[in-house]
Chain A
Amino acid sequence: MIAEVITKRNIIEVKNLVKYYPVLGGVLKRVVAHVRAVDGVSFNINQGETLGLVGESGCGKSTVAHTMIRLLKKTSGTVEFDGKDIFSIKSDELKQMRQNMQIVFQDPYASLDPRLPIGDSIAEGLKIHHLGTKQQQFEQVLAIMKKVGLEDYHAVRYPHEFSGGQRQRIGIARALVLNPKFLVLDEPVSALDVSVQAQVLNLLKQLQQEMGLTYLFVAHNLGVVEHISDRVAVMYLGKIVEITSREQLFLKPMHPYTQALMSAIPVANPKLKKERLILPGDVPSPLNPPSGCRFHPRCPIAREDCKQVEPELRDILPGHQAACHYA
């Protein structure tokens, strides 16, 4: 396969990305605190691969996804796309770069302009970048619609006439019409019914092979992530706690949080009514994360030093990193 020859080339390099949201308070609307949504996240994505980013709500996975394509301002850190820091380039250059990195959103109902026929929605990128004549744009739209499994006549229909799965296909078509290299998929199937979810997942895999795409796949469902990803990063409270290949992660999860997450998933097999590892308590607020290791209040193997010393993400096996003192 061609893909294998070039797999080792880095397309995305995220270094120490931090995103805080200020919390305003008082009469004068001063900044009284920060929500530490993303607190020092580093990873890279190779060309043609899929990195899965999993975690529970509020762990910062969507914030990472939106910040790394500069839909949100960063607090600090760098994101390099094809060797260029996307936060230090000028707006002209950014506009050019946007052709190469696109996003698909979670909510298929909110991600399409309700007043635009979907053909126009899909054509938006071509219009913004003035690519081709109207006729060419129209042909390109029909071509990409066909690719994602939509019919020609759908182009003049409005979003409310489509089901959730079809809308997600429209969102994918809109992102792909510019022929990008890199696609952020922000929980693209979590709002869909299972039978439709499988269709969209298959479509994404097929498009990746055909168009040589690189994916960041954000999700909270480990089963879905395992299915689609080459490597997986697990986030907890604004940090990556474990990152490795999917085979490694699902065979030998190292971090106690990953273990608990995997154990918590109900398995569709009644014979396996297993003893689950149930984590006590709730996810703490990112407004005031616990000291030391952020997972220590819920961790089954936490010791005294976990409360003070924050563990670094370290190599435990080759290509398998985890942020735990006792992993």
Chain B
Amino acid sequence: MMENTKPSLLEVQNLVTYYYTDEGVVKAVDGVDFKVYPGEIIGLVGESGCGKSVTSLSIMGLIESPGKIVNGKINFLERNLLELGESEMQNVRGAQISMIFQQPQSSLNPVFTIGSQIEEVFQIHGKISKNEAADKAIELLKLVGIPDAVKKTHAYPHEMSGGQAQRVMIAMALALSPKLLIADEPTTALDVTIQAQILNLLADLRRKFNTSVILITHDLGVIAEMADRVAIMYAGKIIEQSDVQSLFDHPKHPYTRGLIASVPVMGEIKESLDTIPGNVPNLIDLPIGCRFSTRCNAREEYQLEICNKQEPELQRNQKSGHEVRCWLYQDGEGHTAPFKL
């Protein structure tokens, strides 16, 4: 694959983020590795509680007590972000890595105008006159497709619809041309017709600025349309990672397969949907061995005994770059994998 020849922009190595609550240690992210290459969109997919949002907050250095990054490295432009002080991190946030969130309206400050909030981004990170900042704000609003940009700089967040607010958030996130944009469920709170607009906008801007994007979502449809590569997360770990085509054509992990099969697809009428039995495990009290073993159909089908004893490693197919963490594809002690990756 091409990907190996390019140097990565961001490399997350063995990231471990735990939350120390009164009920116990919540293992939100428990050893996550992935790379982001310049200009690509990588999708981070999983259900609630899989650790996808905590991963992004860890990259941004926004983990707050009782959370703590216990282990790992986050290499970004040849620096380990975890070793930076708070003031250095502030220079990175917004300028080199920026983030947009699920609830755009609550991410904007309700008492300031849209214009002044965008101008503030410029003023925090560089010496720029107020007039220049105002001009740039208008330019940005036009770029993200806000009609009447000049007038809208004087508008307050409550005067905007959810879709427009998300456009403003995107404008603020891209204000300083960051190298990496983290989009955490950017369209989940929006209606489908508005979601289509925002996804189109994100794709356009990515092309224009060559920004890398980490797109976090639970919607496989959004991933299929937007992402170049996909990482599927389950209970704090990446369980499958590959380019998007290969993932949808040949999903390897039983969880990925179950996930794809459980979504009702328009135009395909089935009597009943395929389901993944059970619920997402409690992150305080995880199953021993493979985290998915308690819900896994394949485990029973192939009568694998190792699954609830030992945790599988991420296996990589050197040719395709497809990675999967499952005993179906990994040999172990007294266990022969039924499949070759």
Measured CB to CB, the residues of A under 8 A from B are 56-57, 163-166, 193-199, 201-202, 205-206, 220-224, 226-227, 246-247, 250, 260-273, 276, 278-280, 282-283
Residues of B within 8 A of A250 (CB): 266-267
B264 to chain A, nearest CB (A): 4
Is A223 a contact of B275 with CB atoms below 8 Å? no
Interface of A is mostly: helix
State in angstroms the CA–CA spacing of A104 and B116 once bound together: 44
How close is B308's CB to chain A, nearest CB, in angstroms? 20
11 residue pairs of the A-B complex, CB under 8 angstroms, read: A201-B264, A222-B266, A264-B193, A266-B222, A267-B221, A270-B244, A270-B245, A270-B248, A278-B193, A278-B200, A279-B196
Residues of B within 8 A of A56 (CB): 191-194
Known: A193-B47, A227-B273, A264-B196. A282 touches B267 (CB 8 A): no
Interface residues of B in 236-265 (CB under 8 A from A): 244-245, 248, 258-260, 262-265
- Measured CB to CB, the residues of B under 8 A from A are 47-48, 161, 163-164, 191-197, 199-200, 218-226, 244-245, 248, 258-260, 262-267, 269-277, 279-280
A-side contacts of B200, CB under 8 Å: 276, 278
Does A227 contact B264, Cβ atoms closer than 8 Å? Answer: yes
Q: How far apart sit A197 and B219, CA to CA, in the bound complex (Å)?
A: 13
A166 to B225, CA, bound (A): 31
Residues of B within 8 A of A283 (CB): 161, 191, 193
CA distance A7 to B145 in the complex (A): 50
The answer on a CB contact under 8 Å between B265 and A261 is no
Count: A-B pairs, CB below 8 Å: 130
Closest 4 CB pairs of A and B: A266-B221, A198-B262, A56-B191, A193-B47
Q: Knowing A194-B47, A220-B192, A271-B245 touch, does A266 contact B225 (C-beta < 8 A)?
A: yes
Docked Cα-Cα span, A223 to B270, in Å, equals: 11
A283 to chain B, nearest CB (A): 7
Contact B245 A265 (CB under 8 A): no
A279–B193 Cα distance when bound, in Å, is 6
Q: A193-B218, A264-B193, A282-B164 are in contact. Are A223 and B272 (CB under 8 A)?
A: no
Q: What chain B residues lie within 8 Å of A246 (beta carbons)?
A: 269
In the bound complex, how far is the Cα of B244 from the Cα of A268, in angstroms?
10
Contact status B279-A196, CB under 8 Å: yes
Assess whether A270 is in contact with B225, with CB atoms less than 8 Å apart.
yes
- Asked, given contacts A268-B220, A268-B263, whether A202 binds B196 with beta carbons under 8 Å apart, the answer is no
Q: How far is the CB of B103 from chain A (nearest CB, A)?
A: 14
The answer on a CB contact under 8 Å between A220 and B264 is no
Contacts of B259 in A (CB 8 A): 194-195
Contact yes or no, A226 B264, CB < 8 A: yes
Q: Is the CB of B47 within 8 A of A264?
A: no
A59 to B248, CA, bound (A): 34
Minimum distance in angstroms from B258 CB to a CB of chain A:
6
| A279 to B194 CA separation, bound complex (whole angstroms) | 8
CA distance A263 to B193 in the complex (A): 9
**Nearest CB of B to A150, in Å:** 12
Asked if B276 and A264 make an inter-chain contact with CB atoms under 8 angstroms apart, the answer reads: no
Q: How far is the CB of A76 from chain B (nearest CB, A)?
A: 28
Contacts A268-B248, A282-B164 known; A261 to B262 CB distance under 8 Å?
no
Find A201's partner among B245, B266, B273 (CB 8 Å cutoff).
B273
User: Judging by beta carbons under 8 Å apart, are A265 and B192 in contact?
Assistant: yes
Contact between chains at A227 and B269 (CB < 8 Å): yes
CA distance A56 to B163 in the complex (A): 13
